[in-house]
Amino acid sequence: MIILPIIVIVLFLTGCPPGGQEGAGASPIAAIAPFILIFVLFYFLILRPQQKQGRERQEMLKNLKRGDNVITSGGIYGRVLNISGDVITLEVAKGVNIKVSRSGVSGIASADDEEKKEKEDKSDK
């Protein structure tokens, strides 16, 4: 794992020996510093990217409009026919409509995805 080397580096940089042998004159700040540095590392490596990804997803769901080609979290490709609050009606084939929750849409399908889907459908027949 990547976490263990990071912890060892943080402990080394703060002057705390890995064995935990603190002298009598060690300051409380030196004891807390590794935990602060670890929290800062976790924030920038884990929490901040997740928050950014969540904001981008919420923006994408808010900006869905009629005619968009989307893929659901279940892997179903479809075109948005109607948006009514939290319910989206998708056309998955000619004359086949399904209703899904807005949160069930995982992303906008690109043109490449649609072409691959159509080729797979033709090869199945």
User: Domain spans of the chain?
Assistant: 3-62, 69-124
In this prediction, residue 32 has a pLDDT band, given cuts at 50, 70 and 90, of: confident
Residue of 18 and 110 predicted with greater confidence: 110
How many CB atoms are closer than 10 A to CB 90? 23
pLDDT at residue 101 tops 60: yes
The one-character DSSP state at 44 is I
Cα–Cα dist 42/53, whole Å: 16
pLDDT, mean of residues 30-36: 84
pLDDT at residue 100 tops 90: yes
pLDDT, mean of residues 92-120: 84
In 3D space, the residue among 116, 120, 106, 34 whose CA is nearest the CA of residue 74 turns out to be 106
pLDDT, mean of residues 75-104: 94
